[in-house]
Amino acid sequence: MYVMKNIYLIQLGLYFFALSMSPLTAQESCQVLVWSDEFNQAGTPNPLNWTYDLGTGDGGWGNREIQVYTDNNENVRVEDGHLVINARKNNAGQWTSARVKSQGRQSFQYGRIEFRAKLPAGSGTWPALWMLGDNITQVGWPRSGEIDVMEHVGKDPGKIHGSLHSLSSSGNTQNTGSTTIPSFASEFHVYSAEWTPQSITFKVDDVAYYVYAPNPKNVDNWPFNQSFFLIMNIAMGGNFGSDPQYESGDQRNGVDPNLSFAEMLVDYVRVYQELTEAPKISGDSIVEPNSQGVQYNVPVQGGTFNWTVPAGATITDGQGTNTITVDWAEAEGEVKVEIGGDCGSFTSVLNVKKKLTPIGPNIVFDDFEDGNFSRWTALPGNGNSFELLEENGELRIIYDITSPGQNPSLVFDLGQPVALTTLSQMQITARTNNTSGTVIMRVDMIDAQGVETNASPVFNLQPIVDNGNHHTYTHNFKGDWESSFPNAGALVDSTAIQGFRLYINYGFFGSAGRDTIWLDLVEMVNPLTTGTNELLNQAGWNVYPNPARGFINIQLENDFTDALNGDLLIELFSIQGKRLLSEKMDKGIHKKEIELNGIPTGLYLLRISQGKSFTIKKILVE
């Protein structure tokens, strides 16, 4: 007899699920895999996909079942490429088992729901692979609906049931069908439900055995027009699973007394849906220069596939199929595939960016020397204004903020993802007169996926020095890569930073008024190369000529030279952080000429260091 499987008392938040494409498809030519768990990572089931029902439930989960559900490793784990659910009888005769569910993690509306599993044997076992409506916590069962993709009771070995529960047919449902699979416990079989707005078809190994298609449909017989979540479990005994010959005390506890262990192995869970638009290309959207063997795929089988990649990249394998392998060299740009066949014609595009991994102790985001600040985007919000002007090697930001609640900000785009794992310390050289008395700044880093370090506080430039002179503000983001919105606890990918957001008057409530900030230098440095020795920040040295042609001179004042406790290291870097030359300046030397042979015209950074202390000056080569 079929009765209610579950009573949920805890309200759980619902989440949108993100499609995750894969090369596998259902047998229908126009269906694609939108989500799966292949159980390839040993240990605890993936918490992004699965949670648990625990304990005995209400009335044995509404079915007078006798097991206690746990999340213990002995009852549930991922091992050897399978989800393992074990029901065990302890020395006191108590059964424990597991019920794994995707509630609040993954849910789906329509498609082909597929479980590949090997079922337990033994009278009294009741394994199930099934689904419940997301709204069960609001409307209860059976109004929420239930789709039993597979149920098996050990007292009827090999008889597989597919059933539906709704207001019109709950408990001992009439909406059910069955088939016989003799090798249910010795071999894996694919148990599936193909669910459309019109019908639900139950299959084993792609052979249909029951179709449910009520006409007309109404709220009583068709609650199957909403999202459902997945459940996998082994129950013991209960109204449906109990074997009467072993029952005692008018309890549904009929389990073979010689049985002490039952195991269900699930090889995978997959969800397919109809292809109605161009499928997404799966594969790395950010690549290291000279990456080889990078695969790209569309989840479509059959038809024709014509791939193109940017100039400089090479397709080394798979042209004409749904999966290609690419060697990237120094290229970046669009990976595109034109698809033809029974599903129609589609063109899918994935923009692939080349990651920059800086070489050297720093990378300059902007030094405001080229008169071009197009990478800065002003987002003042309603009631506020920004005016930007680059002059004299600085970015002047004139702002008028009357609505700070709009979070007025400037967004800087690096143009390509940059790895900042070691260059984690931001340094901003800025000045202001703070005539409004309200100047506040804050910086959040943004990765290539748009995730920001907005777990507060992160980098607040306050109190700001308001004497009109340049001051350098620093923050080490190491340990501060966390985001709080929109996904609390998400981590910003420090290996692929796309830019940063500079908030003006962040956190100031009330009219901030009009004021001006000048930015002189924005860079990221390796915090391990910075020190507390301020000697090199003193104005005791000079570089000339600047602009330079063919050479530069490093000139040290006598007092400055006498104060040094060792040799100096002189290095020249490109703006991207690539070191172009390195020379030593011996202690006691007041002047050194550096040849710039082979250095193209452009802006460079001259770094002079001693131990862990260093300073940097900009050099223009003509």
Please give the positions annotated as active site: 146, 151
Tokens of 341: 């066949």
Q: Distance (Å, rounded) from C-alpha 504 to C-alpha 430?
A: 13
| CB-based contacts of 507, cutoff 8 Å, min separation 6 | 404, 440, 442, 460
- Rounded to whole angstroms, the Cα distance separating 112 from 26 reads 8
Closest by Cα among 198, 233, 293 to 102: 233
Across 103-113, b (16+ Cβ under 10 Å) vs e yields bebbbbebbbb
- Coil, strand, or helix at residue 365? strand
What is the distance in angstroms between the CA of the first residue and the CA of the last residue of the chain? 88
CA atoms within 13 A on the CB side of 322: 19
DSSP string, 524-582: EE-GGG--S--GGGSS-EEEESSSBSSEEEEEE-HHHHHH--S-EEEEEEETTS-EEEE
Side chain identity at 137, as an amino acid letter?
T
242 vs 246: CA distance, rounded Å? 8
Distance, C-alpha 142 to centroid of its chain: 35
The token duo for 57 is 């439930």
**Count of Cβ atoms closer than 10 Å to residue 172 Cβ:** 11
CB-based contact 443:547 (threshold 8 Å): no
What does the DSSP 8-state code read for residue 238? H
Q: Is 277 exposed, middle or buried (0-12, 13-18, 19+ CB in 10 A)?
A: exposed
Identity of residue 247? E
20, 199 Cβ separation under 8 angstroms: no
Pairing state between β 394-401 and 513-525 = antiparallel
SS3 64: helix
Q: Which residue has the tokens 């600085």?
A: 394
How long is the chain?
622
What single letter denotes the amino acid at residue 152? H
CB-CB neighbours of 100 under 10 Å: 22
Q: Tokens representing 74?
A: 């002995």
d(CA 505, CA 409): 9
336, 348 Cβ separation under 8 angstroms: yes
> Which two structure tokens, joined as six digits, stand for 251?
């309890």
Q: What angle do CA 612, 614, 616 make, to 5 degrees?
A: 155
